[in-house]
Chains A and B, each alone.
Chain A
Amino acid sequence: MNFIRRSSFYKHFGVYVFLIVLSAFVLFPMLIALSQSFMTNQEVNRWPPKIVPTEPTLDSYDTVLTQQDLRLDLWLRNSLFAATGYTVAVMVLCAPAAYAFARLRFPGNRILFALLLATIMVPGQVTLIPNFLLMRDLDWLDTFNALIFPGAANVFGVFLLRQFFMQIPKELEEAAVLDGASYFGRFRHVILPLSANALTALGIFVFLFHYNDLFWPIIVTSSLETRTLPVGLSILNQSYAGQYRPMILAGATLSTIPILIVYIIFQRRIIKGVTMTGMAGR
């Protein structure tokens, strides 16, 4: 047994070398940023660059968290809140629509679905200016409403969930019909519980998309209190570029820690979810 494993190791030696080189390419920028965030400003601005701090210090973390014009903790909460709200809104809007398309007979089912799918061809950028002006007219600028609602009617979400709903055997629903379940009851108590995987996958996908979005939050938020993390990081970079590099790297590190923790706990689920969503688009 041991012999077989060892021979397989030698056979795949090249694969291991490649994966280790690639992993180094992936890890190196993160580790350098992490390491330099513990340095002093003088130590970073030095040639040759130092990889490991001689005297690790938390000063830059202290500075980045106490600046008057930086609110990393608040921005993180804003990002989590807005992305969660957006994800819930996508689910609430898309799942019932997907159920109607997947299971219910009504005049125009096919045509309406085909028309919706065709709109995927129209990229979202074209809606930015009119939606921005609409936010202004609704007095939604600089509020969470602007971050949550405009993108919530997600056609891709309907498409993905419809695919999954269609795979659920009809017999399961028929049993519920005999028990006198309404259409909503069938959707709520038969379809949704059986689609937990698909809903999680879509949820992860849209959450990550929203959490990392930059353009829309830049244009609809303006006060420190409503900024999201990606916008906040760009502010940090613009305000302190050049002079306070360890502080900027500390900000970058702090901003990625929450999502990395979630990722490490739910790695399998996240990778499966992202793959599932991506493959459905194919």
Chain B
Amino acid sequence: MLGINARLARPKWLALLPSPSLRTREAIAAYLFLTPFLIFFSIFFLRAVVKAVDFSFYDWRLLRRTIPYIGFDNYRELLDDEIWWIALRNTVQFAAMTVAGTTIVALAAAIAVTQPIRGQGFFRVLLYMPSLFSVGAVGLIWVWLLSTQFGVINYGLSFFGIHPINWLGDPDLVLPALSLTTIWWGFGFPMLIFIAGLQGIPDHLFEAAKIDGANGWQIFSHITVPLLRPTILFVTVTGVIAQFQAFGQPYIITNGGPGRASYTVIYYLYQMAWVAFRMGYGAAVAVTIAIIIAAITAVQFVLIGRRVEY
């Protein structure tokens, strides 16, 4: 008891004020705990979001003195900009291919390493390895693998009588090539999520199915997939959001080319704001991208709201 009294002792200069109740003290402590976070959050997030919307109504170019207000003109220009639509179409295609590929590879890998086999841990560690690489290293490695003249991939295909393919120079092939690179790089994380999801499915369900004589495919399609539905949904939707923000692959591997065949929306944002120095227009691009991604996230919340009962 003595200890509490000692702790609760208030400085003398406060003695004239009424003693705050325990509840008030708790609230004051809580706000003190929150203050550092909220200060940073307000400056670098809230303020920035408000400013971004504000900037998008100005024709702000870094190298020009005047900053005229132009209303919705940036957005009108965006809707009329052919390159924006190319970038958006590329991004949707890239995200769709990458997420589909990643989900399939990750789920297959997760099922394989959760079988009662030797070397489970070893395979997990190995398969997750590329996810640790920076997009810089991934890009440098794959540019060369995909090279038309000296690339090992074309060499491998030559054994099947396939002539050298210009992966990064053909507008129709560049997105699939970047997508393959990204699947290699990124399937490890969804694999770990799937492993955790698979371990959450009670064993007795698999055993019951086996006793009833179900084969591997039946177990997969009638037990694994339905019960993993929330996990699959989580992986695909967060995957789409992540791939929608792809930047490093076009920046490092293709410079958006050939032509504009591998422009993504974030690469377009980079070009507008930091190559052309058009901050106002860039802000309009960023706000538009944010709205699209927020819409995808909202869909995720609606879909994932439905939980699965075992």
Interface, chain A (partner B; CB < 8 A): 8-9, 12, 15-16, 18-19, 22-23, 25-27, 29-30, 32-33, 36, 44-49, 51, 92-94, 96-97, 99-101, 104-107, 109, 112, 116, 119-123, 125-134, 149-153, 155, 158, 177-184, 187, 208, 211-212, 214-215, 218-219, 229-234, 236-237, 241, 245, 248-249, 251-252, 255-256, 259-260, 263, 267-268, 271, 274-275, 278-279, 281-282
Q: Tell me whether B129 and A263 are in contact (CB under 8 A).
A: yes
Q: Tell me whether B47 and A130 are in contact (CB under 8 A).
A: yes
Q: Tell me whether A237 and B26 are in contact (CB under 8 A).
A: no
Provide a sorted-by-A list of 27 A–B residue pairs whose CB atoms are within 8 angstroms: A16-B117, A26-B126, A29-B145, A93-B37, A96-B34, A96-B37, A106-B27, A106-B31, A119-B45, A123-B294, A126-B48, A126-B290, A128-B286, A134-B43, A182-B7, A211-B134, A212-B133, A214-B251, A215-B247, A218-B274, A231-B136, A233-B139, A260-B129, A263-B129, A267-B125, A271-B125, A278-B196
Query: Which residues of B are found within 8 Å of A229, using beta-carbon distances?
Result: 134, 136
- The reply on B223 being an interface residue by CB < 8 A is no
What is the 8 Å Cβ interface bit string for chain B, positions 239-275, against chain A (1 contact, 0 not)?
0010001011001100000000000001001100110
Query: Which residues of A are found within 8 Å of B161, using beta-carbon distances?
Result: none
Known: A12-B116, A125-B289, A267-B125. A183 touches B33 (CB 8 A): yes
Closest to B36 in A: A93
What is the 8 Å Cβ interface bit string for chain B, positions 175-212, against chain A (1 contact, 0 not)?
00000000010000100110110000000000000000
Query: Which residues of B are found within 8 Å of A29, using beta-carbon distances?
Result: 130, 141-142, 145, 184
Q: Tell me whether A15 and B117 are in contact (CB under 8 A).
A: yes
Q: Tell me whether A121 and B40 are in contact (CB under 8 A).
A: no
Q: Lowest 9 A-B CB distances belong to which pairs? A: A233-B136, A180-B3, A127-B48, A153-B40, A130-B51, A97-B37, A106-B30, A104-B30, A106-B27
Q: Tell me whether A260 and B132 are in contact (CB under 8 A).
A: yes
Q: Tell me whether B116 and A212 are in contact (CB under 8 A).
A: no
* Chain B proximity of A72: nearest CB distance (Å): 11
Closest to A179 in B: B3
Which B residues, 14 to 62, have Cβ-Cβ distances below 8 Å to chain A? 23, 26-27, 29-31, 33-34, 36-38, 40-41, 43-45, 47-49, 51-52, 55
Query: Which residues of A are found within 8 Å of B127, using beta-carbon distances?
Result: 22-23, 26
Closest to B142 in A: A29
Q: Tell me whether A278 and B298 are in contact (CB under 8 A).
A: no
Q: Tell me whether B30 and A215 are in contact (CB under 8 A).
A: no
Known: A149-B44, A215-B266, A255-B137. A19 touches B143 (CB 8 A): no
> How many angstroms from the CA of A44 to the CA of B155 in the assembled complex?
13
> How many angstroms from the CA of A131 to the CA of B42 in the assembled complex?
12
> How many angstroms from the CA of A123 to the CA of B46 in the assembled complex?
12
**Of the residues A32, A231, A252, A259, contact of B132 by C-beta under 8 Å:** A259
Number of B interface residues at 8 Å Cβ cutoff, please give it: 97
Which B residues, 293 to 309, have Cβ-Cβ distances below 8 Å to chain A? 293-294, 297-298, 304
Known: A104-B30, A251-B140. 8 other contacts (CB 8 A): A15-B112, A51-B152, A100-B31, A126-B289, A233-B137, A255-B136, A263-B129, A263-B132
Query: Which residues of A are found within 8 Å of B231, using beta-carbon distances?
Result: 282
* Chain A CB within 10 Å, residue with most, of B43, B152, B189, B196: B152
Known: A230-B248, A251-B140, A278-B196. A32 touches B152 (CB 8 A): yes
Query: Which residues of A are found within 8 Å of B30, using beta-carbon distances?
Result: 100, 104-106, 109
* Chain A proximity of B43: nearest CB distance (Å): 8
Query: Which residues of A are found within 8 Å of B4, using beta-carbon distances?
Result: 177-178, 180
Query: Which residues of A are found within 8 Å of B112, using beta-carbon distances?
Result: 15, 18-19, 22
Q: Tell me whether A131 and B48 are in contact (CB under 8 A).
A: yes
Query: Which residues of B are found within 8 Å of A26, using beta-carbon distances?
Result: 126-127, 129-130, 184
Query: Which residues of B are found within 8 Å of A180, using beta-carbon distances?
Result: 3-4, 6-7
Q: Tell me whether A127 and B289 are in contact (CB under 8 A).
A: no
**Of the residues B6, B33, B133, contact of A97 by C-beta under 8 Å:** B33
Q: Tell me whether A282 and B234 are in contact (CB under 8 A).
A: yes
Q: Tell me whether B52 and A234 are in contact (CB under 8 A).
A: no
Q: Tell me whether A130 and B139 are in contact (CB under 8 A).
A: no
Known: A27-B126, A215-B247. A49 touches B142 (CB 8 A): no
Query: Which residues of B are found within 8 Å of A127, using beta-carbon distances?
Result: 44-45, 48-49, 52
Q: Tell me whether B193 and A282 are in contact (CB under 8 A).
A: yes
Q: Tell me whether B135 and A212 are in contact (CB under 8 A).
A: yes
> How many angstroms from the CA of A153 to the CA of B40 in the assembled complex?
6
> How many angstroms from the CA of A96 to the CA of B279 in the assembled complex?
36
**Of the residues B48, B137, B274, contact of A252 by C-beta under 8 Å:** B137
* Chain B proximity of A129: nearest CB distance (Å): 5
Q: Tell me whether A129 and B247 are in contact (CB under 8 A).
A: no
Known: A128-B286, A282-B234. A122 touches B294 (CB 8 A): yes
Closest to B25 in A: A183
- The reply on B166 being an interface residue by CB < 8 A is no
> How many angstroms from the CA of A49 to the CA of B150 in the assembled complex?
6
Q: Tell me whether A126 and B52 are in contact (CB under 8 A).
A: yes
Closest to A123 in B: B293
Query: Which residues of A are found within 8 Å of B34, using beta-carbon distances?
Result: 96-97, 100-101, 112
